[in-house]
Amino acid sequence: MSEKKHRVSRRQFLTYTLTGVGGFMAAGMLAPMVRMALDPALEAGGDSEFVSIGLSEADLTEEPQRVDFSVELEDGWYTSEQSRSAWVFLNEGEVMALSPVCTHLGCTVDWNTSPENQDQFFCPCHFGRFERDGTNVPGTPPTRPLDVYDVEVRDGMIYLGQINQR
Ligand code: FES
């Protein structure tokens, strides 16, 4: 073949380049849509997935115990790890997992740290209090209960899902 046949004209070069770039951009836009169509559970950024917290139901008592764990969040192509915490315990025989984030202004509540108010969650920021099931104590700053995690027990192990307001 002559060298002339191998040459790419300016028009051909631009056509190839623009087609390539356009195809790449279209794939970038279509891939997340296809993924969500195939798996609606991923639509909320992976937040609706359940993750193991490394505790079994047999490890629990009625005394809330704090568990720290991490969840993987996906946003388009980007995946990140986010730390989460929960107070986990048995409430009337059922596994309950509460968010430790105070519903007043977002400080972190602790269990049983106010000597005058035994068996309650206590927020040191403005002395907010919650009953063991997360109900806010009237007359203290929080006006709604602690948020609650979706809970699943699989083969005796505890998995937590999304956090819900009540
Ligand atoms: S942030 Fe908890 S009482 Fe204000």
Q: What's the whole-model pTM score?
A: 0.71
Which atom of ligand 1 has the smallest separation from the CA of 102? 2
Ligand 1 contact via 141 beta carbon (within 6 Å):
yes
Q: CB of 48 within 8 A of CB of 159?
A: no
User: Phi and psi dihedrals of 27, rounded to 5?
Assistant: -65, -40
Is 50 exceeded by the pLDDT of residue 92?
A: yes
Which amino acid would we find at residue 77?
W
Mean pLDDT of 72-89: 92
Ligand 1 contact via 128 beta carbon (within 6 Å):
yes
> What does the pLDDT look like over 133-165, one tens digit per residue?
999 999 999 999 999 999 999 999 999 999 999
Across all residues in the chain, what is the average pLDDT? 85
So what's the pLDDT on residue 76? 87
So what's the pLDDT on residue 21? 63
Indicate if the alpha-carbon torsion angle 140, 135, 110, 118 is positive or negative. Answer: positive
Is 70 exceeded by the pLDDT of residue 38?
A: no
Q: Band of the pLDDT at 48, cuts 50, 70, 90?
A: low
So what's the pLDDT on residue 13? 62
Ligand 1 contact via 105 beta carbon (within 6 Å):
yes
